[in-house]
Amino acid sequence: MWGRLGLRRALLVLAGGKGSRLGRIYKPIVAFGGTPLILRIISRFTRHVNEIIVCVRDVEQAKVLARLLPCSVRLVTDVLTDYGPLAGICTGLLHSSCELTYIAPADVPYISLGTYRKLEEFVLAGYDAAVPRWPNGYIEPLTAGVRTVAAIRATRELMKLRIKKVSELYARMRTRYVPVHYLSRNPEVEFLNLNRMSDLYLRNDVAKTP
C-alpha cells in the first residue's frame, strides 16, 4: 500500500487528436477564456504533481506546442501510429517516472484537480485504475488515475493483440468505475469535450466545479 506522503504523481495530457469534428482545428491551442486550452488545463495541476507530460501525434503537433508549453513540461510524440488515444497513453506512461499517473484529454476546459484527487482515493485503496462512469454505463476512458506500471503492462498486452479501444485497457486492469456524481457536483460541464464550434463560445462562468 502506498503512503500518501511519498507518492509521486504525473499528469499525462493527451494532445494528439486531429480535431476532425472541429473543422481540423488543433484544439490544444484554441483560446478558451483568453488562454490556450492546453495551458488552461495544465495550470490546474502544476503545483500538485511531480511532472507533466504532453503527448502529441506527430512532429508537426510537437512544433506547435513547443512554442507554448513551459520548459518544465515534457513534450513527447506517439511511439505508434494508427492506435488513436491508446498510442498517446502508452507513450506517455513510458515517459512517466511516477507511481501514479493522472490521464487527461486536452479538450476538457473545466476538468478539476478535485476529480483526480477522488479518483486517486481508489488507486490508493488497491485498484490499478479509477475511471469516471455515467449512470447509463458509459465511461470517460481518457480521464483516469492509474498505477503507472500496471497500466504499462496492460497497454503492452493490447498492442500485442492489436486492440485499439481504450476501454479495453481498463478491462485488463483492476479498475474501479466511479460514479461521475461522486467526482463532481456538475459532471455535465466538467467532463464536457470541446467538439463543436458552438462549444468554444461557452461562457467561463457556466462551470461551478469543485
Domains annotated for the chain, with CATH where assigned, are 9-195 (3.90.550.10)
Positions in the chain whose pLDDT score sits under 50 = 1-3, 20, 203-210
Q: Cell numbers of 22, please?
A: 472541429
Res 19: pLDDT: 55
pTM of structure:
0.89
Helix (H) or strand (E) holding 77: strand 74-77
Angle of helix 85-95 relative to helix 148-161, nearest 10 degrees, comes to 140
Res 34: pLDDT: 87
Res 31: pLDDT: 87
| 144, HSE (Cβ side, Cα atoms, 13 Å) | 27
Angle in degrees, CA 100, 120, 135, rounded to 5: 130
Res 198: pLDDT: 52
Res 138: pLDDT: 97
Res 99: pLDDT: 96
Res 188: pLDDT: 94
Measured between its terminal Cα atoms, the distance across the chain in Å is 27
- What's the rounded Cα separation, in Å, for the pair 16 and 32? 18
